[in-house]
Amino acid sequence: ETGVTQSPTHLIKTRGQQVTLRCSSQSGHNTVSWYQQALGQGPQFIFQYYREEENGRGNFPPRFSGLQFPNYSSELNVNALELDDSALYLCASSEEGPRETQYFGPGTRLLVL
């Protein structure tokens, strides 16, 4: 039990729509990273937030955006959904700043039709 929860567990959207995925970390975990995992692939780093500011970003377009809140929750927003956005989205948190050890949530599976 990592203490990291994600909602919803599954989601179906249509192309062009917008989606918001949510993550709740353990108290004190002030760093959160988001990943996209396509079927048969490893997690691809989207971005990281530390103390509510973006702290690092992978090769994802600006339509992927995020927010981190003082209560250790965070959001991943994706605009103008494309079919290739269908994937498992994982959030991972770490305590006391960015660290090698991250605690992952179970993920949200998004299907874009």
Q: For residue 96, what are the CA distances in angstroms to 26, 44, 99, 111?
A: 11, 23, 8, 34
CA angle at residue 36 from 72 to 99, to 5 degrees? 50
Alpha-carbon gap, residue 87 to 1, rounded angstroms: 23
C-beta closer to other proteins: residue 15 or 57: 57
Residue 55 within binding range of other proteins, rule CB under 8 A: yes
Alpha-carbon gap, residue 108 to 75, rounded angstroms: 12
C-beta closer to other proteins: residue 34 or 81: 34
SS3 of 85, please? Answer: helix
Q: How far is the CB of 14 from other proteins (least distance, A)?
A: 26
Among residues 68, 81, 94, 112, the one that binds other proteins under rule CB under 8 A = 94
Write the interaction track for other proteins spanning residues 12-51; mark x where CB under 8 A is met and - where it is not: ---------------------x-x----xxxxxx--x-x-
Q: How far is the CB of 82 from other proteins (least distance, A)?
A: 20
CA angle at residue 54 from 103 to 39, to 5 degrees? 50
Chain residues that interact with other proteins, rule: CB under 8 A: 2, 4, 33, 35, 40-45, 48, 50, 55-59, 90, 92, 94, 98-107
